[in-house]
Amino acid sequence: MAQQPQPSESRARLNHGRVIYPHYVWIIVTVIAVMQMVGTSIRMAFGVFIDPLEQTFNWSQGSITFAYLLSSVVTALASPFAGWFGDRFGARKAMVIGTAMFLAGMLLTGLISTIWELYLYFGVLLGVAQAIFLVPLIPAAMNWFRRHLGVGMGLIMASWGIGPAIAALVVGWLIDGMGWQNAFIALGVGSAAIMFLLIGLFRDRPADKGLQPYGFRPGDVEVQKRKPDPERTRLFSGYMRKTAAFWNMSSIHFLGCVGHAIILVYIVPLAVNEGLTLLQATGVLSTLSAVSVISRVFVPIMCETIGTRKIMFVFFALQGILVLMLFWTHDVWMFYLFAVVFGIGYGGETGGFPILNRQYYGQAPTGAPHGWQMAGAGLGMALGGWIGGPIFDIFGSYDIALWASIATSLAGALNIVFLEPTDSLLIPDWEAEETPHSEESPQPRIASGD
C-alpha cells in the first residue's frame, strides 16, 4: 500500500504557490506586532515627557534625555545576550521575563522623585526589559517562515510605526488628564496585561503546533523542527563573526538610528519652541509614526522583489535629505507636511535587515546576529536621543543636532553600498564542515539577490 502523505505535507501541496493562506503564523505575526507596539511605544514617545519633567523638577533637557540615552545603551549592551537567550531557551521564556521587568520598571518610574531614580528605573530596568522581550521576537518570527518572509516582516515592522503613533497621542492625553506620574503607572499596568495575554498564544517554532513553516513545500529540509542546540548556536556564531556583513550591518543600524532618534525625541520640544501646543506637537510625532507604516509594510516585500541593498540605500538617503525641511519649518501645517514626507523615509529605514539576515545566513540560528544588530541600533538610538538635549542647552537651538541627523543617515546609505551581494549565502556549508556525516543537507536558498 502506498504511504499516505502526512497532514502537513498535504497542506503544503495544497498551498503551493500561494502567497497568503490560512496558517498559525498569522497569530504569531499578530502577537509579535502587538508586543512591539505596546512594549516600545513608551520609549518612542519619550519626547512627550520632556517638558512635563522639566516643569516638575526643573531638570535640564540634557539631564532628562540622559535617561533616554541610558535606556538605549543598556538595551544595546543587553541585546547580544538577549539574542543568545532566545536561541538557547526560546523567545517565549524571554518574553515572560522581559514583560515582568517592564511592568516593574514602569511602576517604579511613575513614583520617582529624584533624577537618579529616573536613570535607574527608566534607564536601566526598562532598558534591560526591552532587550529581553524584544530582541528574540524577529528571529522567532523568521522560524515560522520558509518563504514569503517579506510579507510577514512588513506586517511586523508596521507595528513600529503604529505603536508610537498611538502612544504619542495617548501619552499626551494621559499627561493632560492625570499627570505624567499616573500616566506611567497606567501605561505600565495596561501594557503588561496585554503582553502577558499575548504570550499565552505564542509558540517558538511551527513544530510546537505540529506545523511546517509558512511557505514550506514538499522536499524542503525540515530544519525548523530542531530544538535550540547550544553547540550549533556557538558554531554558527563563530563563523558569522568572521563575515564583514555581520559588522557592517551593525554599523549601518547604528547610523540610521542616530539619524531618526534625533527627530523622534526632539520633534516635540522643537515644535513647542516654534509655538505649537503640546497636543499639536504630539500630533506631529503621531502623524510621522502613522505615515511610516506605509513604507514599513512594503519595504520588506520590495527588498525581496527588487533587491535589498538598493531599497535600503534609497530609504536611508530619504531619511537624511528630508530633515533639511526643518530649517524652514515654523508653522503648524509645515510641521505636519514634514511629518508626512519624513515618515515615508524613516519607515523604510529598518525593514531590510531581517531580509538581509535570511539572504546572508539562510536558516541558521539568527538570534545572535540580530542581537548584535540591535546593539548597534540601541547605541544609535541612545546617542541620537541624547545629543539634542545638551546641544540645545549650550546653543539654544537644535540646528546642530539636525545636521548630525542628516550626516549619519547619509553615512548609513554610503555603508550600504559596501555590503556583499545577496545572491548567495555567506557561509553555506558551516554545518557540513564540522559535521560531515550529517544526514541533513544545507537548506536551499530562497531570496532575491541584488
pLDDT at residue 450 tops 90: no
Query: What is the reported pLDDT for 328?
Result: 93
* Rounded CA separation 266/385 (Å): 8
Own/partner contacts of 364-367, CB < 8 Å, gap of 24 or more, are 364/236, 364/240, 364/427, 364/430, 365/87, 365/139, 365/228, 365/232, 365/233, 365/236, 366/139, 366/142, 367/83, 367/84, 367/85, 367/86, 367/87, 367/135, 367/136, 367/139, 367/233
User: For position 239, what pLDDT does the model report?
Assistant: 76
pLDDT of residue 442: 42
**Burial profile 408-445: b = 16 or more Cβ within 10 angstroms, e = fewer:** bbbbbbebbeebeebeebbbeebbeeeeeeeeeebbee
Q: What is the pLDDT of residue 18?
A: 59
Average pLDDT (62-83) is 87
Is it the case that residue 194 has pLDDT exceeding 50? yes
> 305 vs 120, which has greater pLDDT?
120
Contact (CB, 8 A) for 369 and 449: no
| Residue whose C-alpha is closest to residue 127's, from 70, 171, 83 | 70
**Which amino acid, one-letter code, is at 261?**
A
Instruction: Check whether 47 has a pLDDT greater than 70.
Output: yes
3-state helix, strand, coil in the chain (%, to 5): 75, 0, 25
Residue range 247-263: mean pLDDT, rounded: 93
In this prediction, what percent of the chain has a pLDDT beyond 70?
86
pLDDT digits (tens, 9 = 90+) for 95-106: 999 999 999 999
Whole-number pLDDT of residue 350: 83
DSSP assignment of 148-198: -HHHHHHHHHHHHHHHHHHHHHHHHHHHHHH-HHHHHHHHHHHHHHHHHHH
Residue type, 18: R
At residue 417, the pLDDT reads 94
What are the two backbone dihedrals, phi and then psi, of residue 241, each rounded to the nearest 5 degrees? -70, -15
**Quick one: average pLDDT of 287-291?**
88
Identify the pLDDT of residue 356.
86
Q: How far apart are CA 292 and CA 340, in angstroms?
A: 8
Residue 69: band (very low, low, confident or very high) from pLDDT cuts 50, 70, 90: confident
Task: Copy the grid coordinates of residue 168.
Answer: 504619542
Report which of residues 262 and 134 the model is more confident about: 262
Residue ranges of domains in the chain? 23-215+223-434
Please state, in angstroms and rounded to a whole number, the distance separating the CA atoms of residues 255 and 237.
Answer: 24
Task: Give one DSSP letter per residue of 249-312, joined into a string.
Answer: HHHHHHHHHHHHHHHHHHHHHHHHHTT--HHHHHHHHHHHHHHHHHHHHHHHHHHHHT-HHHHH
Average pLDDT for the chain: 83
Check pLDDT > 80 for residue 53. Answer: yes
Over residues 419-429, the mean pLDDT reads 79
Q: In terms of CATH architecture, what is 23-215+223-434?
A: Up-down Bundle (1.20)
pLDDT tens per residue across span 195-234 = 999 999 999 888 888 888 888 777 666 654 555 566 676 7
Reported confidence tier of residue 437, pLDDT bands at 50, 70, 90? very low
Number of H helices, E strands in the chain: 19, 0
pLDDT value, residue 263? 95
How far apart CA 356 and CA 227 sit, in angstroms, is 24
Q: What is the pLDDT of residue 429?
A: 67
Confidence of residue 444 (pLDDT cuts 50, 70, 90): very low
The whole-number pLDDT of residue 2 equals 46
CA distances from 130 to 48, 199, 351, 375 (A): 19, 15, 19, 12
pLDDT classification of 327: cutoffs 50, 70, 90: very high
